Amino acid sequence: MTAFRFTIDGVEIDAREGQTIMEAADEAGIYIPRLCDHEGLRHQGSCRVCTVKAGGRSVSACTQPAAAGQEVENETPHLGKLRRDLVEMLFHEGNHLCPICEASGNCELQAMAYRLDMTAPTKFPYLEPCRALDASHPDIALDRNRCISCGRCIRASQDVDGKGVFGYVGRGIHRHVGLSAEDLAGTDAKLADFAISPEVCPVGCIIRKRVGFATPIGEREFDKGLIGHEIEERRHE
Amino acid sequence: MSEPPRARIATASLAGCFGCHMAILDMDERLIELTKLVEIDRSPLTDIKSFTRRADIGIIEGGCCNEENVHVLRDFRRNCDVLIALGQCAIMGGLPAMRNAIMHSDEPLRECLEEAFISGRNIRNTTHNIPNDPALPLLLDEVYACSEVVEIDYQIPGCAPSGDIIFDTLSRLLTGRFRGFGRDMIKFD
């Protein structure tokens, strides 16, 4: 495999052929914000939070292959604002009420808002959609109010579990995550599925019943540090 | 030498749970330090119910769910130089705004009240009426964030905000050194 170098915000980093910009950045300890991308899942490039400038063009870092000599911009005021606007719009599109959500503190959407200095989503009107709950399954519940349609559960179920419990339905603003049956109890979803594991759903949509408050608010994953800090710590090792 | 004049602070709780006012007390002994810089005017803490003179800083807890909330909020905007929304309810509606998401029928408010007072599964309301005493303020069609009703100058996030972020923001505002929040201080829970 050919090794080469390229720069992110002027810092020269190593990469191998076949790596995306994000994979090379992760190895070098440079964090690029992301929501729909997750380690162990196929890249999708749909949330656009990982947008970087490569050679002056906007590309999603999770799908764009790294290239020798490429000059990538990541932490610039312009990209920071663009990412913050995207995250704000996600807050306005669903019903994201952090104070009542059991995922608060473990939620990647919320943690991304903290990292991008979003103190309050107030710029756009709230869509306040009416979305049904699904608590039919004995061990799992779905609160679609919090779904951001990242599709991580879809890819986890199809590619890792080999099941296809979840799938996209509809187009444009109407696109949402649908199920392979009438309700969750009708599907073959199991608590042991990778798609149901807490790391796959970035928000509080896929809920594992009876464990929600096992870890109290204030002692959760992103109470310990900003999202991406474990990647940034690699840089100093 | 005479002491410098202290800044006047007014506070109010609208559609909130008073948790943010409790969080003000979470500043603990730093309250003593703060009282050297401020005096508290209209507030539930002093039980003063109307403005006697103009305040430097107004602190609002809770969003607007009824007409009285809107009246108080506008009164604060008129009488305060700087207006702060404290906590998630004031910033984006918070818990009371949960009712907004079910407001998609033709008579949303009636449906909401009927379920709350008459038809709900665990309701024991012997009068079978929705309360409508003239002394009760009229409910708004939706719960509104403070910034949707008046201009808000600063928003302190949290449910409730920590004593640290309240003290940090107030003390830096009072000395003209406020430049936004540290990333580790922003919390929505």
Nearest to A195 by CA among A205, A185, A181: A205
Contact across the interface for B97 and A97, Cβ inside 8 Å: yes
Residue of A nearest to B151 (CA): A122
In chain B, which residues touch A (CB < 8 A)?
Answer: 85, 88, 91-92, 94-95, 97-98, 100-104, 145, 147, 155, 157, 159, 180-181, 183-184, 186-189
Same structural domain, A127 and A19: no
pLDDT tens over chain A, length 237 residues = 789 999 999 999 999 999 999 999 999 999 999 999 999 999 999 999 999 999 999 999 999 999 999 999 999 999 999 999 999 999 999 999 999 899 999 999 999 999 999 987 667 888 888 888 999 999 999 999 999 999 999 999 999 999 999 999 999 989 999 999 999 999 999 999 999 999 999 999 999 999 999 999 989 999 999 999 999 998 876
Domain residue extents for chain B: 7-97+139-185
Q: Is B165 exposed, middle or buried (0-12, 13-18, 19+ CB in 10 A)?
A: buried
Which of A97, A119, A145 is facing B186, going by the closest CB pair?
A119
Q: What is the pLDDT of residue A113?
A: 95
* B2 vs A111, higher pLDDT: A111
Can you tell me the mean pLDDT for B112-132? 88
The bridge status of strand A71-73 relative to strand A3-8 is: parallel
Nearest to A8 by CA among A37, A34, A29: A29
Which uninterrupted H or E stretch holds A15? strand A11-16
Q: Are A32 and A22 spatial neighbours (Cβ–Cβ below 8 Å)?
A: yes
Judge whether residue B104 has pLDDT over 90. no
What the block records as the tokens of B99 is 């009712």
Which of B95, B147, B180 is facing A97, going by the closest CB pair?
B95
Q: pLDDT tens, B41-64?
A: 999 989 999 998 999 999 999 999
Q: Which residue of A106, A119, A126, A217 is the best one to mutate when testing the B interface, meaning the one whose CB has the most B CBs within 10 A?
A: A119
CATH assignment at residue A50: 3.10.20.740
Q: Is A166 exposed, middle or buried (0-12, 13-18, 19+ CB in 10 A)?
A: buried
Residue A233 maps to a domain: no
CA distances, A186 to each of A136, A170, B41 (Å): 8, 21, 60
Say which range, A92-96, B12-16, B80-84, has the weakest mean pLDDT. Answer: A92-96
Q: Are A51 and A61 spatial neighbours (Cβ–Cβ below 8 Å)?
A: yes
* A132 and chain B in contact, CB less than 8 A: no
Contact across the interface for B104 and A130, Cβ inside 8 Å: yes
* A145 and chain B in contact, CB less than 8 A: yes
Nearest to A107 by CA among A121, A92, A87: A87
Residue A235 maps to a domain: no
Q: What is the pLDDT of residue B108?
A: 75
**Does residue B12 have a cis peptide bond before it, meaning omega lies within 30 degrees of 0?**
no
Looking at A75, A103, A118, the residue that finishes a domain is A75
Residue A236 maps to a domain: no
CATH classification code of B7-97+139-185? 3.40.50.700
Counting one residue from A and one from B, how many pairs have CB atoms under 8 Å apart? 69
Per-chain mean pLDDT for chain B: 91
Same structural domain, A159 and A215: yes
Q: What is the pLDDT of residue A121?
A: 63
Which of B103, B147, B187 is facing A122, going by the closest CB pair?
B147
Residue A209 maps to a domain: yes
Residue of A nearest to B102 (CA): A130
Residue A95 maps to a domain: yes
The bridge status of strand A57-60 relative to strand A51-54 is: antiparallel
Residue of B nearest to A111 (CA): B187
CA distances, A233 to each of A35, A153, A222, A224, A226 (Å): 20, 28, 15, 14, 11
Same structural domain, A132 and A184: yes
Residue B159: list chain A partners with CB under 8 A: 98-99
Looking at A25, A45, A75, the residue that finishes a domain is A75
Give the residue numbers spanning the domain of A113. 82-223
Could you give the 3-state DSSP secondary structure of residue A133?
strand
Q: What is the pLDDT of residue B76?
A: 98
Same structural domain, A59 and A90: no
Per residue, what are the HEC states of chain B? Answer: CCCCCCEEEEEEECECCCHHHHHHHCCCCHHHHHHCCEEECCECCCCECCCCCCEEEEEEECEEEEHHHHHHHHHHHHHEEEEEEECHHHHHCCHHHHHHHHCCCCCHHHHHHHHHHHHCCCCCCCCCCCCCCCCCCCEEEEEECHHHCCCCCEEECCCCCCHHHHHHHHHHHHCCCCCCCCHHHCCCC
Same structural domain, A193 and A97: yes
How many structural domains is chain A composed of? 2
Q: What is the pLDDT of residue A132?
A: 86
Contact across the interface for B186 and A114, Cβ inside 8 Å: yes
Looking at A37, A54, A75, the residue that finishes a domain is A75
Alpha-carbon distance B187 to nearest alpha carbon in chain A (angstroms):
7
What the block records as the tokens of B22 is 């409790």
Residue A229 maps to a domain: no
Residue A231 maps to a domain: no
Read off φ and ψ for residue B155, nearest 5 degrees.
-125, 125
Same structural domain, A36 and A143: no
Contact across the interface for A226 and B184, Cβ inside 8 Å: yes
Residue A69 maps to a domain: yes
Can you tell me the mean pLDDT for B32-39? 91
Nearest to B188 by CA among A109, A162, A94, A43: A109
Same structural domain, A33 and A114: no
* A115 and chain B in contact, CB less than 8 A: yes
Alpha-carbon distance B69 to nearest alpha carbon in chain A (angstroms):
19
Same structural domain, A213 and A123: yes
Residue of A nearest to B152 (CA): A122
CATH assignment at residue A145: 3.30.70.20
Q: What is the pLDDT of residue B63?
A: 96
Residue B61: list chain A partners with CB under 8 A: none
- CA separation for the pair B33, A126 (Å, rounded): 40
Give the single-character DSSP code of A128.
-
Could you give the 3-state DSSP secondary structure of residue A119?
coil
Rg over alpha carbons for chain B, rounded to the nearest Å, is 19
Q: What is the pLDDT of residue A126?
A: 85
Contact across the interface for B98 and A100, Cβ inside 8 Å: yes
Q: What is the pLDDT of residue A237?
A: 64
Which uninterrupted H or E stretch holds A87? helix A77-93
Alpha-carbon distance A214 to nearest alpha carbon in chain B (angstroms):
16
Nearest to A126 by CA among B89, B69, B92, B187: B92
Q: Is the dihedral of CA A107, A65, A166, A38 positive or negative?
A: negative
Residue B85: list chain A partners with CB under 8 A: 120
Q: pLDDT tens, B129-142?
A: 999 899 999 999 88
Torsion angle in degrees (nearest 10) through CA of A78, A80, A62, A191: -160
Which uninterrupted H or E stretch holds A26? helix A21-28
Same structural domain, A198 and A177: yes
Same structural domain, A53 and A100: no
Judge whether residue B1 has pLDDT over 60. no
Same structural domain, A88 and A179: yes
Contact across the interface for B157 and A120, Cβ inside 8 Å: yes
What the block records as the tokens of B112 is 């909401």
Can you tell me the mean pLDDT for B167-189? 91
Judge whether residue B149 has pLDDT over 60. yes
Read off φ and ψ for residue B63, nearest 5 degrees.
-90, -165
Contact across the interface for B188 and A99, Cβ inside 8 Å: yes
Residue A94: list chain B partners with CB under 8 A: none
Same structural domain, A71 and A112: no
